[in-house]
Chains A and B, each alone.
Chain A
Amino acid sequence: MSSVGDATTALTEELAARNDMIVCQGVSKWFGDFQALDSISAVIKEREVVVVLGPSGSGKSTWIRCINRLEVHQEGRIVIDGVELTNDLRNIEKIRSEVGMVFQQFNLFPHLTVLDNVTLAPIWVRKKPKREAEEIARSLLERVGIPEQAEKYPGQLSGGQQQRVAIARALAMEPRIMLFDEPTSALDPEMIKEVLDVMKELARSGMTMMVVTHEMGFAREVADRVIFMEEGQLVETGTPEHFFTNPTEDRTKLFLSQIL
Chain B
Amino acid sequence: MSNTDKATLAATQSRRPPLYRDATVLKWLAQVAALSLVVFALYFLVTQAQSNLAKKGIATGFDFLSAPLGSDLSSGIDTDPDTSGRALWVGMVNTIRLSIGGIIVATVLGVVVGVGRLSSNWIVKRISSVFVETLRNIPLLVQIILIFVVISTLPRVEINQGPIPGWLHISNKGVSVPRVFISDGFYQWLIVVAIGAALGWLVMRRRSRLHDATGRDTYPVASFVAVTAAFAAVGWFVHPVFGWVGNVFDGLASGIGALTEQTVQILLSVAALLVAVLWIRRFLAQHRSPAGRAKLSDDDWFRVIFAGVVAVLVAIFVNIGWPGLSSWIINSGRDLFEVLGDKFGDGRTGQPIDAKRPDIEQPGNFPNYGPAGLNLTQGLAAVYFGVVFYTAAFIAEIVRAGILSVPKGQTEAAQAVGLRRLTMLRRVILPQAFRVILPPLGNQYLNLTKNTSLAIAIGYSDLVQVGETIYNQTGKTVEVVSIWMLFYLTCSLTISVVVNFFNVRLKIVER
Contacts and interface: CB of A to CB of B under 8 A. Distances in A.
A132 B414 CA distance: 21
Given A124-B423, A124-B427, A129-B215, A111 B418 contact: no
A121 B417 contact: yes
A70 B417 contact: no
A153 B413 contact: no
A93 interface: yes
B511 A93 contact: no
Contact of B427 (A68, A97, A120, A133): A120
Given A96-B416, A100-B416, A125-B417, A107 B409 contact: yes
Interface in A105-122: 105, 107-111, 120-121
B212 interface: yes
B419 interface: yes
A132 B416 CA distance: 22
B431 interface: yes
B413 A108 contact: yes
B406 to A, nearest CB: 10
Interface in B359-378: none
Contacts of B164: none
Interface string A50-73: 000000000000000000111000
Contacts of A97: 417-418
Nearest to A154: B511
B13 interface: no
A205 B215 CA distance: 29
Interface string A158-171: 00000000100110
Contacts of A228: none
Contacts of B510: 110-111, 153
A124 B217 CA distance: 10
A173 B417 contact: yes
Nearest to A65: B412
Contact of B415 (A70, A108, A169): A70
Contacts of B427: 120, 124
A156 interface: yes
Given A129-B215, A130-B211, A169 B417 contact: yes
A107 B215 contact: no
B410 interface: yes
The bracket for how many chain A residues form the interface is: 35 or more
B511 A155 contact: yes
B212 A121 contact: no
A42 to B, nearest CB: 21
B509 A111 contact: yes
A47 B428 CA distance: 32
Interface string B234-266: 000000000000000000000000000000000
Given A103-B413, A125-B418, A131 B428 contact: no
B412 A107 contact: yes
A127 interface: yes
Interface string A63-89: 000001110000000000000000000
A170 B416 contact: yes
A107 B424 CA distance: 14
B222 to A, nearest CB: 17
B178 to A, nearest CB: 42
Contacts of A69: 415
A70 B412 contact: yes
B47 interface: no
A143 interface: no
Contacts of A22: none
A170 B417 contact: yes
Interface in B391-426: 407, 409-410, 412-420, 423
B213 A131 contact: yes
Interface in B325-355: none
A173 B412 contact: no
Contacts of A109: 410, 413-414, 428, 432
A167 B409 CA distance: 15
Interface in A209-228: none
B412 A111 contact: no
A118 to B, nearest CB: 10
A96 B418 contact: yes
Contacts of B413: 101, 103, 107-109, 166
B417 A111 contact: no
Contacts of A153: 510-511
A93 B511 CA distance: 32
Interface string A191-216: 00000000000000000000000000
Contacts of B419: 120-121, 124-125
Contacts of B414: 109
B125 interface: no
A130 B418 contact: no
Contacts of B4: none
Contact of A110 (B212, B214, B217, B432): B432
B415 A96 contact: yes
Given A68-B416, A105-B409, A132-B215, 4 more contacts: A107-B407, A109-B432, A129-B211, A169-B417
Interface of B: 211-215, 217, 407, 409-410, 412-420, 423, 427-428, 431-432, 435, 509-511
Q: Which 5 A-B pairs have the closest CB atoms?
A: A129-B215, A130-B212, A107-B413, A97-B418, A121-B417
